[in-house]
Copies of this chain bind each other. A is one copy, B any other.
Amino acid sequence: MFLIKRKVSFSAAHRLYSDALSDEENRAVYGKCSNPNYHGHNFSLEVAVKGEPDPRTGMVINFKTLGEILEREVVEQLDHRNLNLEVDWLRGVVPTAENLVRAIWEILESKIPQGRLHSLTLSETESSSVTYFGPHGGTT
């Protein structure tokens, strides 16, 4: 089994605030991440596609194809945007790394033409990231 991995990045603003929580609870849970005027990150997204190489081409999926899908479906949608206000498919979502990566999974899953989406890793900073294996995936 092979995993093909490709990384892109986008710069966006967000704040963590849940309507299900009071203002006080929001501050307690999210701290300075709940700043009403937003903050931002250079988010990095690494997608992993699993599969076997096509014997004719020797590839599971072309890095270039994968890069173009990520550019179109993720970077063009999220780069230089406000993740709380400006993205249709994030409406009503508290933009934690966990919720973002699950929403990105739903966007990407059906768009992968060869192989199958295995996992997504979204990094907020060089020291903080979330990996998601999909609704049915996982590791022991």
Residues of A within 8 A of B (CB): 1-9, 11-14, 16, 18, 20-21, 29-33, 35, 37-42, 48, 50, 53, 56-60, 62-64, 67, 79-82, 85-86, 93-94, 96-99, 101-102, 118, 124-133, 137-140
Query: For the complex, what is the distance from the CA of A137 to the CA of B59, rounded to whole Å?
Result: 18
Q: Are A40 and B18 in contact (CB under 8 A)?
A: no
Copies in the complex: 6
Q: Are B64 and A31 in contact (CB under 8 A)?
A: yes
Residues of chain B lying within 8 A (CB to CB) of residue A9? 125
* 8 CB-based A-B contacts, threshold 8 Å: A2-B101, A11-B124, A13-B37, A13-B38, A41-B42, A53-B99, A58-B98, A139-B139
Chain B residues near A56 (CB-CB < 8 A): 18, 20-21
- Given known A39-B11, A40-B13, A140-B137, contact A53–B98 (CB-CB < 8 A): yes
